[in-house]
Amino acid sequence: MAASLPSDLRPMLESGLAALGLDAGHAPKLLDYLALLVRWNATYNLTAIRDPREMVVKHLLDALAMHRFVDPLAESAGALADLGTGAGLPGIPLAIVKPGLKVTLVESAGKKARFMRQAIRELGLADVRVAESRIEALDEPGAYAAITARALATIPRILELGGHLLAGDGVLLAMKGVHPADELAQLPPGWRLRASHALDVPGLGAERHLVVVGREGMPAA
């Protein structure tokens, strides 16, 4: 499948994976996902990014920069809900590099949900499922050890929409650009900042942060 992509993408991706501390052996399946995305994007406009090289950095490596923070979930068979995932980012790349990670891709747009179901089938991602639903309408209270969101909304809004999905000790892993001090100052009652981590995305000359938010009374990350 990945044969339709430019030949220089694999070494580019492998270099990025190595910089993130990930096994370059994940590159073929990640490129299969990217090839499928490029093909569907031509018809269904799933993402505004069209250049496959730009997709490697801004989709794959950007999504994977947070990989070490889902290790506890993968090791404990905990579940992650990826809210407003679009074409499956970051959920699908994370599931590829973290076998055993249980991921629910939450997306209300039908064409994006159809794409993700096809990707799950073709990539053989047995622990990934699609929930074609608005976030606030997903009736799975307390089912997830973590939720994540990438370029979806402010942190208070994400909690408003999806906080009900978290178990009592669950956390929001919010992917942000610059450190979102203003958003964190407006956290809803009962929630607090547990940790903030600067992320380095190979090939991306922009700030990235992962912000961890949990309920009051739970231990710091």
- The predicted structure's pLDDT at residue 172: 98
Query: Measuring CA to CA, how many Å separate 185 from each of 155, 179, 180?
Result: 10, 12, 9
Model pLDDT, residue 220: 54
Is residue 83 within 8 A of residue 162, CB to CB? The reply is: yes
Lowest mean pLDDT among 11-15, 42-46, 131-135: 42-46
pLDDT at 221 over 80: no
Residue-level pLDDT at 84: 95
For the stretch 202-220, pLDDT in tens is 999 899 999 999 999 765 5
Q: For 66-82, write each residue's pLDDT tens digit.
A: 999 999 999 998 899 99
Stretch 169-182: mean pLDDT: 96
DSSP characters for 87-145? TTTTHHHHHHHSTT-EEEEE---HHHHHHHHHHHHHHT-TTEEEE-S-GGG---TT-EE
Stretch 162-183: mean pLDDT, rounded?
A: 96
Give the pLDDT score at 3: 52
Specify the pTM.
0.95
CATH superfamily of the domain spanning 2-215? Vaccinia Virus protein VP39 (3.40.50.150)
